[in-house]
């Protein structure tokens, strides 16, 4: 009997330890975590009404949940701001439209000055425009850090309709923040340019060293000259350029001497080939071009002699 009672108590204890998910108002059983995840997803999709409805049902099932309550407040805040944003844009377009119509009504009053109905309409429209100033100032203040283009539109319209200290102050803040943002953007651009310059420098320097190591002197010199155009005071590039140039000149002199020896031994075609290699290393040097030209003339004469024979 005691054993049976103990078993019943253990069963009841285990049943109390694991509670089933609460049933929300739509009839589905969902855990608090499931409700939170679904509401966050709806929020990200900008489905605020659905998210609010789900969170309200969740709070009915889990009335003590701080997470659900905080998320509902956050969703509601975003929802109200989005609605206010759209309403204020509508306000801007309505005021702009009224501004565009006003000159035509003023012109109509000038054409028909005795028409009191038209004059009354003009007074009403002007009064209606002025009545929008407070809303425009509020719009500019609210959206100053949320939607700057909208804030600027509202402040500008308010100042156009009826310049006040409030509109002037608001426009001043907007201009100041625009100037600060522009300054920050220029600073970021300077940093990006420096980083890009450093990346290009590193890449050109690495490639120049690789070319130098493989004996591609002219390619190495070309890359180093590019680097020095980017940064004329680059000491490392200047020193490497001197080393490459000296090594290139030594190789050119070696090839010239070897070609001269081949030429004296009447191995003219081989001499031309060697001098052409020297010309690739140091293009445009007259002493190389003159050797090649002289040898080519000799080869041409030899060919003419062979043809006669």
pLDDT, one tens digit for every residue, the chain (309 residues): 334 333 433 333 344 333 344 444 454 567 899 999 999 999 999 998 999 999 999 999 999 999 999 999 999 999 999 999 999 999 999 999 999 999 999 999 999 988 999 999 999 999 999 999 999 999 999 998 889 999 999 999 999 999 999 999 999 999 998 899 899 999 999 999 999 999 999 999 999 999 999 888 889 999 999 999 988 889 999 999 999 999 999 989 999 999 999 989 889 899 899 989 888 888 888 888 998 899 898 888 888 777 766
CB-based contact 39:75 (threshold 8 Å): yes
CATH number at residue 282: 1.25.40
The verdict on residue 164 lying in a domain is: no
Can you give the pTM of this predicted structure?
A: 0.57
Query: Residue 224 and residue 232: Cα distance in Å, rounded?
Result: 10
> How many separate domains does the chain show?
1
The upper half-sphere exposure of residue 132, i.e. CA atoms within 13 Å in the direction of its Cβ, equals 27
Domain that holds residue 249: 187-308
| Residues 6 or more apart in contact with residue 251 via CB below 8 angstroms | 215, 217, 278, 281
The verdict on residue 225 lying in a domain is: yes
C-alpha angle with apex 168: 163 to 173, nearest 5 degrees?
Answer: 155
The verdict on residue 264 lying in a domain is: yes
């Amino acid at each position: 009997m005691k054993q049976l009672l103990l078993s019943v108590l253990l069963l009841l204890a285990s049943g109390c330890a694991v509670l089933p998910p609460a049933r929300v108002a739509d009839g589905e059983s969902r855990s608090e975590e499931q409700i939170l995840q679904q509401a966050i997803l709806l929020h990200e999709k900008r489905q605020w009404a659905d998210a609010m409805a789900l969170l309200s049902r969740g709070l009915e099932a889990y009335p003590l949940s701080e997470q659900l309550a905080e998320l509902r407040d956050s969703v509601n805040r975003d929802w109200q701001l989005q609605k206010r944003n759209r309403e204020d844009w509508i306000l801007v377009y309505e005021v702009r439209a009224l501004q565009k119509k006003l000159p035509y009504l003023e012109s109509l009053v000038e054409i028909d000055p005795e028409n009191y109905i038209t004059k009354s309409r003009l007074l009403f429209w002007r009064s209606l425009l002025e009545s929008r100033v407070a809303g425009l100032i509020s719009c500019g203040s609210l959206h100053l850090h949320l939607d700057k283009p909208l804030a600027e539109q509202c402040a500008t319209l308010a100042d156009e309709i009826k310049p006040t200290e409030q509109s002037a102050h608001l426009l001043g803040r907007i201009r100041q923040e625009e100037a600060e943002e522009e300054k920050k953007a220029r600073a970021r651009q300077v940093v990006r340019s420096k980083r890009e310059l450093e990346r290009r420098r590193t890449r050109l320097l690495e490639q120049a060293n690789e070319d130098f190591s493989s004996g591609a002197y002219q390619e190495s010199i070309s890359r180093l000259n590019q680097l020095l155009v980017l940064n004329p005071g680059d000491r490392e590039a200047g020193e490497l350029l001197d080393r490459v140039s000296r090594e290139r000149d030594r190789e050119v002199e070696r090839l010239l001497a070897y070609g001269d020896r081949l030429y004296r031994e009447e191995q003219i075609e081989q001499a031309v080939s060697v001098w052409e290699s020297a010309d690739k290393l140091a293009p445009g040097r007259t002493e190389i071009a003159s050797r090649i030209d002289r040898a080519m003339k000799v080869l041409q004469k030899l060919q003419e002699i062979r043809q006669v024979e």
